[in-house]
Structures are given as structure tokens and as C-alpha cells.
Amino acid sequence: MLIQIEIGKELQFLAYLTPVIMGIQLAFYFFFQYRKIKDVNLPLNRVLLAFGSFILFIVLGPLFIQISRNFIEKGLLYEVVSRIGWGLSFFSTIMVSLFIIKKEFSIIINLKVVKILMVLNIIPVLLVFLVPSTSSPIFIVSIIFVVLNGLNIIRFQLILINRSTSSIKKKFKLFLIGAMVSFAALFFATLVGLGVLPSIINEIVYFTGVSILLIGFIIMSFSIYNFPPFYEFEWRENFIKLLIVNQRNYSCLYNYNFVQKFDKNKKLNKNHSYNSDALFSRGIIGIESIITIITGIRNEKINKIKKDNVHIFLEYGTNPSYITYILVVKKDLISSHHFLKSIRIEFEAFFEEILLNLDSLKEEQERLFGSFNTIMNRILQQ
């Protein structure tokens, strides 16, 4: 049965609506960011779905609890709505685990541990619908499984930060800070929901928890803004050489040697099969044969070639269309094509007018297009 709302409870509910609205918007923005870069299905970008789902459940769960506390008299309907809220709150950590038990994350975290903790996390979700009261000792004790899974998720985020670099590392740091603040708010919500505190203290704890949750969401909103594609962990080390070729005369407009770039402060292994000399002979000299293969096919374009122990990805210009972008890599990673596509977009935007008048260009092309190094360094720092 519905009840008349007290002024204090009405203020509590209205106060909680602010982080609820912001949290829902934030969650769907995470989903939107994932959708935006899903064209090449980068597997590690599933962390965006994990984070978005966590935020969505962590606001919807307490919302149901607030509705039961403020609008419904104690009885069957109160219990049903309240317990749905508890179930959704505890399911927030399970949702994160569901997205990180993929083989792509096995190189940074033990998936067996993740699965065990996820299964244990299900226990309080089931108990919330089975125990006679949410004040039951067995239910309160079971909450420790949610905490353990939450701690493992925090550990996972710390590993992500460790393995990431540049701007994406900063994004993960911001999200971790925001998530930690949100976890603290969940603790406050648990105290209020259990009803174990005196009414005055309960109200103070409530508004403190809402404020903390709002701060956490604000911090997380900075983490998702302009989120870069999350490539495989070894994506930079996978690159060997980039070549941008004019098909009309087979001239190389631009080349970038990743091996020399990434090893400039290290002693190169003499037995390394991807040293710059071998790369030059197999990459540069092979351009003509690659172009011949491409131009020999009228109705189909080749996007990938396996040559010896390297993979060669190809992207074709749009304006002008006779420019070919060639990326030589060690492994066939999904991120390679996405990276090459990004290079093509940036190169055509940066040299738009020059490329349209390439035939009449008298200036030394190598020096002119060498200025693209600035853009390359920025892209590599994502």
C-alpha cells in the first residue's frame, strides 16, 4: 500500500534523483562510446560495457530501495521492491565480472579467480530473495562475497592502469578513482537500507552517501570523455613499419619505422628478426610487388597479406584514391586495421589540399610529408 510521504523522506528521494539521472546518462554514454568504435570489434573495449553496466546497476538498485522506503508501507509489496533493489545493487559487480572473463584478459588476470568470485557473488543475490528478512545474519554475512568481488574488480582496474600508457592510462585512473568513491557510497547505502542506525544519524549517513555517489559520477564522467580505442596490450610492440605510397609512380610519400622508434633507448637484439635493415629490404623493396597484386584485381581490394613471418595490412585512400597505406606488423591483431584506418583519416585531413594537387607538387615530398611525424607521435600516445 502506498503511504503519505514525509517531508524528510521526500527531500531524501529528490536528492537521490540527481545522481540517478546523471548515472543513467553516464552509463549510456559508456555504451555509446563502445558502439562508436565497435566497427572493428576491438575485444578489450568490452571494459566500456563493463563500466557502463556497473554504473547502471549501482544507481538502479538503491533507487528501488528508496522507492520502497519512501512510497510503500511495510508488507509484501515493500519486501518485493526492496529486495529487487538489493539484488540489482549486488549484481553490479557481477556485471563487471561477466565482461572480463574473456580470453583476451587472461594475460593480465587469472580468469579462474574471477569466475569463482563471480559465483560467490551470486550467493547474496539469491539470499536476498530467500531469507525471511534483510536483517538476517546469514544475509549480512553473505555481503562479504560482494565486497571480495568488488576488491578483485579494483585489482583488475589497477592492472589495467599498469599495462596501459598515455591518455588511456589517465582515463583508467580517473575511472578507478570515481569507482572507488562510488563503492564508498554503496557502503553508506547499505547502512541506510539495513536500518541499523538511529533516525537522525541515518539521515546524515544518507545525504553523505548521495553526495559521495554524485562526486564519484562526476569524476567518472571525465574518464569517459573522448575515450580512445582500447587496443590489445601489445599493440605498439606489434608494429614494424608504416608506408604511405603513391600508386601512380610507386613513390613512398611517408614511412615510419616503429622498431627504431620503440627501441631507441634500448640495446637492439642482434638476432631480432625485425631489425631495421631487414625491414627496409623486405618492406620497401616489396612495395612494387604489393602494388602489382593490388592493381591486378579489378573488382576486389586486398586488405591483408601474409608474407613470410610478417602480416601486411592495406588501407586505400578516399581522397585521393590512388594513395595506399601499408602497415607491416608481427601478429595479426584486430587493432592493426583500426590503427591503419586512423592513420589514413589523419593523413588525408592533414594534407588534404596537398594530396589533391600531388602531381603538380615540386617541393621535396619526403621533407614535406615528414611533418606527419608529429601526428604519428600523438596517435601512438593514445
* Mean pLDDT confidence for 88-97: 90
Question: What pLDDT shows up at residue 382?
Answer: 61
Least confident stretch, 6-20, 81-95, 264-278, 315-329: 264-278
Backbone angles phi and psi of 363, in degrees to 5: -65, 155
Q: How many other C-beta atoms are found inside a 10 Å radius of the C-beta of residue 375?
A: 16
DSSP-derived secondary structure letter, 196: -
Write out the CATH class of domain 7-224: mainly alpha
Q: Measure CA 63 to chain center.
A: 26
Instruction: Tell me the CATH class for 235-380.
Output: alpha beta
Residues paired with residue 227 on neighbouring β-strands, in sequence order: none
pLDDT 10s digits, 16-58 = 788 889 889 999 988 888 877 655 566 677 888 888 898 899 8
Q: Would you say 121 and 97 are in contact if contact means Cβ atoms under 8 Å apart?
A: yes
Taking alpha carbons only, the member of 149, 93, 143 closest to residue 117 is 149
Domain boundaries, the chain: 7-224, 235-380
Q: Do domains 7-224 and 235-380 have the same CATH topology?
A: no
From the list 46, 29, 368, the residue with the least C-alpha distance to 230 is: 46
174 versus 364: the higher-pLDDT residue is 174
> Model-level pTM?
0.67
- Assess contact for 114 and 108: CB atoms under 8 A: no
**Contacts of residue 79, Cβ cutoff 8 Å, sequence gap at least 6:** none
Query: What secondary structure does DSSP assign to 278-326, as a single string?
Result: HHIIIIITTHHHHHHHHHT-SS----EEEETTEEEEEEE-SSSTTEEEE
Asked if residues 279 and 287 have their Cβ atoms less than 8 Å apart, the reply is no
Kindly report the CA angle at 28 between 218 and 343, in degrees rounded to 5?
90
pLDDT in tens, 114-165: 999 999 999 999 999 888 887 788 888 888 999 899 889 889 888 888 877 7
Q: Count CA within 13 A, CB hemisphere, residue 171.
A: 21
CA angle 286, 291, 297 (to 5 degrees): 135
Q: Please report the pLDDT score of residue 317 as a whole number.
A: 86
Grid cell 574518464 is found at 223
DSSP per position, 2-35: B-PPPHHHHHHHHHHHHHHHHHHHHHHHHHHHHH
Compute the half-sphere exposure of residue 51: CA atoms within 13 Å on the CB side of its CA: 33
CA distance 99 to 94: 9
Q: What is the pLDDT of residues 216-271, one digit of tens each?
A: 888 888 888 777 777 767 677 788 888 888 877 777 888 888 876 655 544 434 44
CB atoms within 10 A of CB 376: 17
Q: Are 65 and 193 in contact (CB under 8 A)?
A: yes
Helical residues (DSSP H) of the chain, grouped into ranges: 7-36, 46-71, 76-100, 111-130, 137-163, 166-194, 199-224, 235-238, 258-262, 276-279, 287-295, 334-350, 352-356, 365-369, 373-380
| pLDDT tens-digit map of 276-324 | 433 443 444 455 455 555 555 555 567 777 777 788 888 888 877 778 8
Whether 70 and 126 have beta carbons less than 8 Å apart is answered as no
Average pLDDT (328-357) is: 83
Cα-Cα-Cα-Cα dihedral sign, residues 318, 35, 23, 142 = negative
Q: Can you read off the three cell numbers belonging to residue 61?
A: 538498485
